Amino acid sequence: MLKKILIMFFLSFSLLLSEDKGWDGFEDPGFGNFSFLTTSWGELDFFDSWQILSTFYFDVYYYNEVVVQDVVDYGDQVYDMIIEDFGWLYFSMPKRVSIYIYRNAAEYARKTDMSQWAGGHADLKQNAIYSYEQKNIFANVIVHELTHLVFDAYMGYPRCMAINWLHEGVAIYEEKKVLNKVWKLKYLKDLDKQGELISIRDLFKTHIGLQETSQKVGLWYFEVGTLIAYLRTLDKDGFRIFTQNLKNYNNIVEALKMTYPWGFKGIDDLEKGWKNWLYQKGDTI
Ligand SMILES: [Zn+2]
């Protein structure tokens, strides 16, 4: 099924990542009072009030202009920043991206066949991002989903690797980088002292989903984000070479050993290095 093929990326869970963000992805949007016909996946039957604004890279479909103002004002700039950060020489990006902002979570869920708890998702085949009107949509949803689009173009197809942690980590990392989000590393250090961090092995294995508690979900996202931040500090071209090795060999341990022969013999060494990095950093970065 098409929807199984599409890689769905959900809103990041940013409570732990930044001081001023809430669990927008988990807000109960409520049911009832909606009488529109359900549409099938991919069918976008817009209402008369649907508007379109185009920027250099984006076609933004929306109902209320104020909601998409940040997307229109900063979207192109942030897109350039993300592409630049991945090294634009090494991959080709979609020239245009469509962004659809539905009126609310219920309309979004009905028209995209997504779950109501998702804050948005990127459709990699359509070069499109789907979301709905919500607080801080640019900072909390669009930048994250845009990073998934860019990173997927960077990693290329076929996409058979179990690298959910990498995709989400990169999206969280770019959110911080391009939006100057604040990370409270003290939270991770405190959990580490209590033996309650998710191990790197488990980060790699976990495909985070609704069965987890919201605290566990938030922690998973935070940890994979900081893991990418740590990997990015190791050497200038290291991350690009690591991802290239991952593509070629589809094996994290091999990719680590080949990229960082001086450092990692396996995942335990990576975990040690990441924790050392955490403790070298301040409580807030
Ligand atoms: Zn994501």
What's the 93 CA to ligand 1 centre distance in angstroms?
18
What's the 71 CA to ligand 1 centre distance in angstroms?
18
Question: What class does CATH assign to 2-280?
Answer: mainly alpha
What's the 255 CA to ligand 1 centre distance in angstroms?
23
What's the 175 CA to ligand 1 centre distance in angstroms?
11
Where does the pLDDT of residue 130 fall: very low under 50, low under 70, confident under 90, or very high at 90 and above? very high
Question: What's this model's pTM, rounded to 2 decimal places?
Answer: 0.83
Query: Highest-confidence range of 41-45, 92-96, 127-131, 201-205, by mean pLDDT?
Result: 127-131
What's the 51 CA to ligand 1 centre distance in angstroms?
26
What's the 196 CA to ligand 1 centre distance in angstroms?
23
Q: What is the pLDDT of residues 23-69, one digit of tens each?
A: 222 222 222 222 233 334 444 555 557 899 999 999 999 999 999 99
What's the 170 CA to ligand 1 centre distance in angstroms?
9
Q: What is the arithmetic mean of pLDDT over 129-149?
A: 95
**Domain residue limits, the chain:** 2-280
What's the 12 CA to ligand 1 centre distance in angstroms?
5
What's the 219 CA to ligand 1 centre distance in angstroms?
14
What's the 171 CA to ligand 1 centre distance in angstroms?
6
What's the 48 CA to ligand 1 centre distance in angstroms?
31
Neighbours of 156 (CB within 10 A): 11
| The pLDDT of residue 157 | 63
Q: What is the pLDDT of residues 70-103, one digit of tens each?
A: 999 999 999 999 999 988 878 888 889 999 999 9
Where does the pLDDT of residue 195 fall: very low under 50, low under 70, confident under 90, or very high at 90 and above? very high
What's the 162 CA to ligand 1 centre distance in angstroms?
14
Q: What is the arithmetic mean of pLDDT over 272-285?
A: 97
Q: What is the arithmetic mean of pLDDT over 141-166?
A: 85
Render the chain in DSSP notation, one character per residue: -HHHHSPP-PPP--TTT-TT---GGG------S--PPP--TT-----TT-EEEE-SSEEEEES-HHHHHHHHHHHHHHHHHHHHHH-GGGS---S-EEEEEESSHHHHHHHH---TT--EEEETTTTEEEEES-TTHIIIIIHHHHHHHHHHHHH-S---S--HHHHHHHHHHHHHHHHT---BHHHHHHHHHTT-SPPHHHHHH----TTS-HHHHHHHHHHHHHHHHHHHHH-TTHHHHHHHHHHHH--HHHHHHHH-TTT-SSHHHHHHHHHHHHHHS-SB-
